[in-house]
Structure 1
């Protein structure tokens, strides 16, 4: 069971882990809430999860960079 759980945690995009660190919650609770919300709302949190995964994967595009002295 630990091997299966480790495989899925490595394949996940890290969205639940990121939210867990930001909100100081257990990662398992966040994952369960995504699963329950997906069943209750017919899958719309899956789309939100994938958007958040894309943003986390490419967060350097979305961060506002401060201009350096050489760019002024």
Structure 2
């Protein structure tokens, strides 16, 4: 039963990319590779945004640090 379910998802999942490749006039493997690269780029993009925001918050805390006396400057 598990093999039938796996075969069903593989058959219909690959059929989507092959129909899209036929419509665009490309190879199906190129379309699949494009989707794999696109998923890595989008995941990496949000990680980069997270790092930029963390750096910005740290920089803001360093600039606005409260000093207890005049000699801390």
Structure 1-normalised TM-score? Answer: 0.42
Structure with more relative contact order (C-alpha pairs < 8 Å, separation 6 or more): 1
Q: Relative to total residues, which structure has the larger helix share, 1 or 2?
A: 2
Higher radius of gyration, 1 or 2: 2
Structure 2-normalised TM-score? Answer: 0.41
